[in-house]
A and B are shown apart, each in its own frame.
Chain A
Amino acid sequence: MGFRGIGFLLHCYLVLAAAMYFDLGEQEEKCIIEEIPEDTLVTGYFLLEPWDLAVTSHSPHFGVTVTIRDPNHEVLMTKRFGKFGKFTFSGHDSGQHYLCFQTNSTRFSVFSGERLKLHLDVQMGEHSIDPSHKIAKDDMETLQNSLMHLIDQMMYIARQQEYQREKEEVFRQIGEDANGKVLWWAVVQTSILLFVGFWQMKRLKDFFIAKKLV
């Protein structure tokens, strides 16, 4: 188990280290926005490292708090992890989900906030390729896994297309609303102008007649 565990860590590290990373200060929260259609399983792998790998100072216990918000800004999931981990969630609404990462450390003295690197890899679909997948005990099984991954990719693309089509409809509806509103306001303003014009003339005429000036 120990050896396997180390193998898993190493593999995770090697693969995620090639992924994109960004800097995160201590106690700082950064958010990523992902547009996700409903009922899609999203898997995220992350790895937290100190900025200067040469300076492994004090080795405090760093951790990441992952908070996921749905399009209505309600918290879907909030969980604390160690230096690296994997999180999954499945949204009920389609729209923009916010994945927020915040570091926390068990150190009590916070001096000149240390910069940390957060490697991140976010995948959609049930059969995501796990960076820690074991080198196959059964070759056919790995082939099968890869095929399932391909099938998932295709289904994901198809679902995204459906979702795009729905959004396109919403967009067109908003466009037509805007057009309708512009027309309506223009009509209302013109009629108010005309009405006010006539009203003013009438009032002033009555006024002048009353004052015996005309």
Chain B
Amino acid sequence: MELLSRKQGSRGRLFVLAVVCGLCLGSVRCFGPSQDSEFTFMLPAGRSECFFQTTIKNGSMEVEFQVIAGAGMDVDFTIISPGGVQLIADARRSDGVHLVEPTEQGDYQICFDNSFSRFSEKMVFFEIIIEGQAGDVAGEDDLADVEDSDGNLLEYKLDDIRESMDSLHRRLERSWQMQMVLRAFEARDRNLLEDNLWKVSFWSCASMLVMLCVAFTQVYTVRKLFDDKRRVCT
């Protein structure tokens, strides 16, 4: 009798485990392909480039951009909603962060415009962070239904594992985003410094040549003056 009940109990436990695992993985699977994108691209002079991002209703979208290289280091930035309304327009900014919340269902258009510049092309880095309605974890409601059966230690352990993995994933995503931003800052500073170095060398050389030319010209002119006078005297 005891053996039978134990076997049945274990089968029940196994079933619960399978269900919980399934739910675990259901929710784990949806930190699948991340919807956060970041791109660096070259924007040629006099052109405009647009990128599109699909969003769900009532989510939030954060867009951050930085101009990493290019003379002037600024660009026009606009965000146009799926309905065609221009939400944000930044004229000639070198970096910016914008949060669009709540988002409509559809494709947001994110445009960078370099038409005011005729010769200099710009390297632009931008990042889009999308968040769903209440965090990215689906299946949280389903799990609540399972919990009121059996109050098993195993379930709680699995629940803990699932929660730690989710929080770990969220924090890693955040670190990754911060790293991206820092990298963009560093790239921008490095490009600026390399430009400066080249300018310093070039103008120093030019200045030295001008000085030497002026020196010889001065001596020659003064001598020339006296030569003429000499001729006039005699």
Contact surface of A with B, Cβ cutoff 8 Å: 15-23, 30-35, 45, 96, 117, 120-121, 123, 129, 131, 136, 139-140, 142-143, 146-147, 150, 153-154, 156-157, 160-161, 164, 167-168, 170-171, 174-175, 177-178, 181-182, 185, 188-189, 192-193, 196, 199-200, 203-204, 207-208, 211, 213
State whether the Cβ of B197 lies closer than 8 Å to any Cβ in chain A. yes
- B176 A22 Cβ-Cβ under 8 A: no
**Does the CB pair A160–B179 fall under 8 Å?**
yes
Q: Are B183 and A142 in contact (CB under 8 A)?
A: no
Please pick, from A23, A182, A192, the residue contacting B212 in the complex, using a CB distance under 8 A. A192
Contacts of B18 in A (CB 8 A): 139
Q: Are A131 and B32 in contact, CB atoms less than 8 angstroms apart?
A: yes
Q: Contacts A35-B187, A142-B28, A146-B165 given: A121-B37 contact, CB under 8 Å?
A: yes
In the assembled complex, B193 has its CB within 8 A of some CB on chain A: yes
Answer whether A189 and B211 are a contact pair too, CB < 8 Å, given A33-B41, A143-B21: yes
Write out the residue numbers on chain A whose beta carbons fall within 8 Å of the beta carbon of B183: 35, 160, 164
A208 to B215, CA, bound (A): 18
Contact B25 A136 (CB under 8 A): yes
A170 contacts across to B, CB distance below 8 A: 190
Contact A150 B40 (CB under 8 A): no
- Chain B residues in contact with chain A, CB under 8 A? 18, 21-22, 24-25, 28-29, 31-35, 37, 39-42, 49-54, 123, 128, 165, 168-169, 172, 175-176, 179, 182-183, 186-187, 189-190, 193-194, 196-197, 200-201, 204, 207-208, 211-212, 215, 218-219, 222-223, 226, 230
Listed from nearest, the 9 A-B pairs whose CB atoms lie closest are: A185-B204, A33-B40, A196-B215, A20-B37, A178-B197, A139-B21, A22-B51, A153-B172, A142-B25
Determine the chain A residues whose CB is within 8 A of the CB of B35 once the complex forms: 18-19
Residues in B whose Cβ lies below 8 Å from that of A21: 51-54
Do A19 and B226 touch across chains, with their CB atoms under 8 A apart?
A: no
**CB-defined contacts of A45 to chain B, threshold 8 Å:** 33
A143 to B29, CA, bound (A): 9
Nearest A-chain residue to B22, judged by Cβ = A139
> Which secondary structure dominates where chain A touches chain B?
helix
Sample of 18 further A-B pairs with CB below 8 A, known A18-B35, A150-B165: A15-B32, A20-B53, A20-B54, A31-B42, A129-B32, A131-B33, A139-B22, A140-B21, A147-B165, A153-B169, A167-B186, A168-B186, A170-B190, A171-B186, A174-B193, A185-B200, A196-B211, A213-B226
Partner of B49, one of A22, A192, A199: A22
Min distance, Cβ B2 to any Cβ of chain A, angstroms: 31
**Distance between Cα atoms of A140 and B218 in the complex (Å):** 88
Find out whether the CB atom of A189 lies under 8 angstroms from the CB atom of B28: no
A41–B116 Cα gap in the complex (Å)? Answer: 38
Contact across chains for A204 and B222 when beta carbons are under 8 A apart: yes
| B53 CB contacts on chain A under 8 angstroms | 20-21
Contact B32 A177 (CB under 8 A): no
Taking A20-B37, A32-B41 as contacts, is the C-beta distance between A182 and B200 under 8 angstroms? yes
- Contact A171:B40 (CB < 8 A) given known A139-B18, A192-B211: no
Complex interface: chain A residues within 8 A of B128 (CB): 20
The listed residue (A17, A120, A150, A207) touching B168 by CB distance below 8 A is A150
> Which single member of B176, B194, B196 contacts A157 (CB below 8 Å)?
B176
Residues of A within 8 A of B32 (CB): 15, 129, 131
